[in-house]
C-alpha cells in the first residue's frame, strides 16, 4: 500500500484530515529515532499506537505521533494544529496532562527533537 493510501486510512480512522505539514512529514520520513530518545512513528504504526493508548477516547482530536522511550507520548492536536507538539504521560493521556514541547514542528525535527527539561 502506498504511503498516501496509508495516510488516507489514518484519516478515515481518525475521522479528521491530518494537518498538511504532518502528512508531508509522513510522506518524507519512515519511522525513526531522533536525538537521544525520540521515536517518531511511521504512518504504518499510527492507528495501532493510537488504539493502544486509546487516544480517541482520552484525548479526542489529538494524535500520538511518537514517544520518548520512557513512558511519555508526543501528541499533536489534529483539528487545530499550528505546528505545536506536546508531551504527555501515557497514564495521563488527557489534554490537561499535556506539556508544550515546541510551537514549531519543523524546527523541532531539524533540531533532533530536543526535549524540555
Using one digit for the tens of pLDDT, what is the confidence trace for 46-82? 999 999 999 999 999 999 999 998 899 999 999 889 9
Structural domains in the chain, CATH included, are 3-110 (3.40.1580.10)
The number of angstroms, rounded, from the C-alpha of 20 to the middle of its chain's C-alpha atoms is: 13
Average pLDDT, the chain: 91
- Three cell numbers, residue 66: 511518537
- How much is the pTM? 0.92
Query: Are the C-beta atoms of residues 28 and 40 closer than 8 Å to each other?
Result: no
Q: Span 24-43, mean pLDDT?
A: 85
- Confidence band for 117, pLDDT divided at 50, 70 and 90: low
| Per-residue pLDDT, 3 | 83
Amino acid at each position: 500500500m502506498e504511503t498516501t493510501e496509508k495516510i488516507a486510512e489514518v484519516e478515515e480512522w481518525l475521522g479528521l484530515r491530518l494537518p498538511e505539514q504532518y502528512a508531508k512529514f509522513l510522506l518524507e520520513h519512515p519511522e525513526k529515532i531522533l536525538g537521544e530518545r525520540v521515536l517518531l512513528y511511521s504512518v504504518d504504526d499510527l492507528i495501532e499506537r493510537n488504539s493502544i493508548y486509546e487516544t480517541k477516547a482520552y484525548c479526542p482530536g489529538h494524535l500520538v505521533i511518537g514517544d520518548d522511550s520512557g513512558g511519555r507520548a508526543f501528541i499533536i492536536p489534529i483539528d487545530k494544529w499550528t505546528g505545536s507538539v506536546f508531551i504527555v504521560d501515557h497514564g495521563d493521556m488527557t489534554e490537561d496532562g499535556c506539556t508544550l514541547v515546541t510551537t514549531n514542528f519543523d524546527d523541532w525535527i531539524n533540531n533532533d527533537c530536543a526535549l524540555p527539561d
